[in-house]
Chains A and B, each alone.
Chain A
């Protein structure tokens, strides 16, 4: 298993278009990927738009992304890079 923590910096957080982009990116990988907000216990399937939305992750939240599978490192790194790109919001 491979995991990393990242800070959400874009204004919208993981809602709307950024949420869609996040899901699309996650779905490209074979690994089982989960995401959780550091302030909460529950982790959810990072390929499900509805579960991701249910976390209501906003600007300033820290999230942990974990993956398990043959492309776990690439998956987590790609998702972290996407979040760090601020989804081109600024």
Chain B
């Protein structure tokens, strides 16, 4: 059987299916006979030991490579043995004849309510730990085996309805052969992460979870976008060959990683890196690139059980700043909301999250979270060339409000005598058309800008980029995109301020060539795209790129633009 989907991260894999779905226990009110209560207490204590054993095993695994993550699980053990909670659970069993699982639910829910009412955000965020632990206890109680992408027993093809950023951020990249999901497009976070980890991925195969069984062998052709179930031997052999060929092609392309990105006629194009963390794997891209064009700091928040403290953030930013030295390191401030939720922040559910309280708007509401991050960034500024970039800027008011808050932060640091760099550059992400259209005004009040083309496209074409029903309306090649980008780039260049592109368009050779023609000289992308883009640059001339740019804005549809660019660049990609 063949299923079709969107191949968002190219590659080929053959392997066993591992269906991943977050476990949601259903626990109902239940009483026990009075004479059974001693056994029930005993059962609870056994359960607690089993949970402790799991948590200890996880900590052992994480201890050396990821001590921060290990600490989260140490905190879980602490909660598991909390005297007050344990007293209540045992009282519920002994005096109120509650079943152990119901006593656990009653108690944990009560503490979740208690902490979620706290005036302190840091405390409210601990509810995520309680929820996590309650699920663990109930899962063990019900005898359901644990499923977790961070600790996998053997290499597998992961299938899921959707992967949340918190799932992908922790997944064990050495054991995931491929990713299959029911929803999500090429700019979803699952896609971005899959590409940066170089894991083949096909997204958007409807109802695939019901079609697959755990442990069955499948072929994932994430070049053509095909998933094959029950493959015969001949087919498996064929795809084993194809896999080899694809790996060879990728290896060939990788040779371009090391070249200088200079066009055939001598123009140097800056190639920057998009990163989501400061792990050695991510920072390894440093050797091939001119800096970090986008550090998605929200992943740090997603990995943390609570909100990361100023010092935790400072240490991470400093690590990246030291790695890149004089080359710019652009930190994008917290971009939460939209498709990225934070368990530790309990954000309101919204009907239209992409149009809602997101990113900078949310930071304006949660000033202490915003200021903590800014302080960490300014402090890290002493160790490298740190730039701060604000996401979801829609108006001059946004820029001015943010700058006022930044001014307050600097004043506070000054007053406290904390070491910081007052000259850190402040820039904006251009992803809302309203700010793109007044880029000339914005350019006067900020130090730099970067075009976030994924969101720019979604807001310009009025398409929720995660909604599969409207995916054909999400048109990266829409002539309007190129007109708007050209106009925005011109406004920043006229003001003498740098502007780059850090969205997916910057990493796709076809669109990147047009961007260069529109005057963009700075492209930022995931490590997986660097080689392909350098190959393009070294084969391109500026007049050719300008010819493309002049032509595409005169074409009337996205299909025409795409066909034209493909034809023109055939030999370079």
Contacts and interface: CB of A to CB of B under 8 A. Distances in A.
Interface in B302-345: 309
A53 B126 contact: yes
Interface string B454-480: 000000000000000000000000000
B404 interface: no
A9 interface: no
A68 interface: no
Contacts of A54: 111, 114-115, 118, 123
A50 B120 contact: no
A15 B79 contact: no
B122 interface: yes
Contacts of B130: 50
Given A15-B123, A58-B120, A53 B115 contact: yes
A53 B123 contact: yes
B313 to A, nearest CB: 14
Interface stretch (A41-49, A70-78, A79-87): A41-49
Contact of B120 (A44, A45, A51, A56): A56
B82 interface: yes
Interface string B78-119: 110011110000000000000000000000000100110011
Contacts of B78: 20, 23, 49
A45 B123 contact: no
A9 to B, nearest CB: 15
Interface string A1-38: 00000000000100110001001000100000000000
A48 B120 contact: no
A12 B85 CA distance: 24
Nearest to B112: A50
Contacts of B119: 56
B119 to A, nearest CB: 6
A15 B307 CA distance: 12
Contacts of A47: 83-84
A80 B94 CA distance: 36
A54 B111 CA distance: 9
Contacts of A51: 82, 84
A56 B116 CA distance: 11
B70 to A, nearest CB: 14
A20 B71 CA distance: 12
A24 to B, nearest CB: 9
Given A15-B123, A56-B123, A49 B118 contact: no
Contacts of A23: 78
Contacts of A15: 120, 122-123
Contacts of A50: 79, 82, 84-85, 111, 114-115, 126, 130
A48 B83 contact: yes
A49 B79 contact: yes
A33 B384 CA distance: 49
Nearest to B86: A48
Contacts of B114: 50, 54
B115 A45 contact: no
Nearest to A19: B78
Contact of A48 (B85, B118, B309): B85
A67 to B, nearest CB: 15
B10 to A, nearest CB: 43
B84 A45 contact: yes
A58 B123 CA distance: 11
Contacts of A45: 83-84
Contacts of B120: 15, 56, 58
A53 B123 CA distance: 6
Nearest to A44: B84
B33 to A, nearest CB: 30
Contacts of B111: 50, 54
Contacts of B82: 48-51
A44 B111 CA distance: 13
A80 to B, nearest CB: 21
Nearest to B81: A49
A50 B130 CA distance: 10
Contacts of A12: 309
A82 to B, nearest CB: 17
Interface string A56-73: 101000000000000000
A27 B111 CA distance: 20
Contacts of A48: 82-85
Nearest to B310: A11
Nearest to B121: A56
Contacts of B123: 15, 53-54, 56
Nearest to A23: B78
A53 B122 CA distance: 9
Contacts of B122: 15-16, 56
A50 B111 CA distance: 8
A20 B85 CA distance: 16
A19 B82 CA distance: 12
A8 B522 CA distance: 50
Contacts of A53: 115, 118, 123, 126
A34 B123 CA distance: 19
A26 B118 CA distance: 23
A48 B86 CA distance: 10
Interface string B123-143: 100100010000000000000
A47 B85 CA distance: 11
Nearest to A53: B123
A81 to B, nearest CB: 22
In order of increasing CB-CB distance, the 4 nearest A-B pairs are A48-B84, A56-B120, A47-B83, A56-B123
23 contacts: A15-B120, A16-B122, A16-B309, A20-B78, A45-B83, A47-B83, A48-B82, A48-B83, A49-B78, A50-B82, A50-B84, A50-B115, A51-B84, A53-B115, A53-B126, A54-B111, A54-B114, A54-B115, A54-B118, A56-B118, A56-B119, A56-B120, A56-B123
Given A47-B83, A49-B79, A54-B111, 10 more contacts: A12-B309, A23-B78, A44-B84, A47-B84, A50-B85, A50-B114, A50-B115, A53-B123, A56-B118, A56-B120
